[in-house]
Amino acid sequence: MHSVLITGSKGQLGSEIKAVSKNHPYQFYFTDKESLDITNPHAIKQYIEENSIDTIINCAAYTAVDQAESDEETADKINHIAVKHMAKIAKEKNIKLIHISTDYVFDGKNHKPYTEEDNPNPTGVYGKTKLAGEEAMMKIAPRNSIVIRTSWVYSSFGNNFVKTMLKLGKEREELGVIYDQIGTPTYAADLAAAILEILPKIDNHKPEIYHYSNEGAISWYDFAKEIMKMAKLSCQINPIETWQYPTPAERPHYSLLNKAKIKKDFDVTIPYWKDSLSACLTKLGERR
């Protein structure tokens, strides 16, 4: 039986793994920053030894994209240094490591979906620290380890775009939403199921990078329109350009991820974004 350590278990993905974990024959250990300090290598090693961990799924991340611009030290500790510690321990103990990364490692200037071979070029602190974590893991090169980059994550847990739109859609008559940033949402429940499906199939000598998001391509505007439609909210969604909604961190204008590699290597079926949004809204009791 696998003994699986989940870091960042109170986040969206960690919470979704917890929700689906009951159907799996693994022993799961769900931790957060209160129960395990991932920036402390001794704490990680002790936890792994005490609980005979053979797999780490690192869902922990500093994801406050705008806040990271003024708090680079903390973002780097969590997104880079902690990953470095985990990779070293994974190599030493010969345990599997699945690390979750982001589309923000790209600058968004592509015109076709990003593959795992495309050169990263992050524009902000969040993307730079996440890329540094990936690079540390690649350099240390623990066996049976993978990086999964994902995008636009939402869930029935935590705070996210879907929940914000539902809240504002009930409070306001109209909203301006950005239409010139293109990508694909990822329902964390789908990613959680995919991770647990591929976990026993991971068998590689050096770390591999994979991309995962739901299928399809949309803007935040399209996403918001569909949320209102499915929830039968009368709030009017108006398209706005990125410059009309300034933020401290620059967002990639185009961050579609090519998922051919993960589908080929692990025979993973990826749901269409509208089907997943419908499933999430149903779970939230908001599908009308």
Residue 48: give its domain's CATH number.
3.40.50.720
**Res 177: pLDDT:** 97
Q: Which residues pair with 186 in a beta bridge?
A: 153
In angstroms, the CA 149 to CA 133 distance is 12
**Res 257: pLDDT:** 98
61 located within any domain: yes
Q: Which residues pair with 257 in a beta bridge?
A: 114
280 located within any domain: no
Q: Which amino acid is it at 10?
A: K
CB atoms within 10 A of CB 164: 14
Give the domain extent around 200: 3-160+185-216+255-270
- When the pLDDT of each residue in the chain is averaged and rounded to a whole number, the result is 96
Residues 6+ positions from 121 with CB-CB distance below 8 Å:
105, 106, 107, 109
In angstroms, the CA 28 to CA 26 distance is 6
CA atoms 53, 54, 55, 60: torsion sign:
positive
With a cut of 80, say whether residue 192 has pLDDT above it: yes
Task: Report H helices in the chain.
Answer: 12-20, 41-50, 72-76, 82-93, 125-140, 161-171, 188-198, 220-231, 260-266, 273-284
9 located within any domain: yes
With a cut of 90, say whether residue 25 has pLDDT above it: no
pLDDT tens figures, 157-188: 999 999 999 999 999 999 999 999 999 999 99
Tell me what percent of the residues of the chain surpass a pLDDT of 90.
96
Residues in the chain: 288
With a cut of 80, say whether residue 1 has pLDDT above it: no
Going by pLDDT thresholds of 50, 70 and 90, the confidence category of residue 92 is: very high
Mean pLDDT of 109-117: 96
Number of compact structural domains in the chain = 1
245 located within any domain: no
With a cut of 80, say whether residue 131 has pLDDT above it: yes
137 located within any domain: yes
Q: Which of 126, 179, 210, 254 is catalytic?
A: 126
With a cut of 90, say whether residue 80 has pLDDT above it: yes
232 located within any domain: no
Mean pLDDT of 86-115: 97
Residues 6+ positions from 237 with CB-CB distance below 8 Å:
174, 175, 176, 177, 221, 224, 225, 228
Going by pLDDT thresholds of 50, 70 and 90, the confidence category of residue 41 is: very high
In angstroms, the CA 224 to CA 218 distance is 10
pTM for the predicted model, two decimal places: 0.97
241 located within any domain: no
CA atoms 107, 108, 112, 116: torsion sign:
positive
**Res 196: pLDDT:** 96
With a cut of 90, say whether residue 22 has pLDDT above it: no
Mean pLDDT of 57-64: 96
pLDDT tens figures, 214-259: 999 999 999 999 999 999 999 999 999 999 999 999 999 999 999 9
- 1, burial (CB in 10 Å: exposed 0-12, middle 13-18, buried 19+): exposed
Is 154 labeled as catalytic in the residue annotation? Answer: no
The gap between the terminal CA atoms of the chain, to the nearest Å, is 41
**Res 181: pLDDT:** 96
User: Which is it for strands 145-150 and 236-240: parallel, antiparallel or unpaired?
Assistant: unpaired
With a cut of 90, say whether residue 139 has pLDDT above it: yes
Residue 285 gets which letter from DSSP? T
Query: Do 29 and 92 form a contact (C-beta atoms < 8 A)?
Result: no
In angstroms, the CA 103 to CA 71 distance is 20
Q: Which two tokens stand for residue 38?
A: 């991932």
221 located within any domain: no
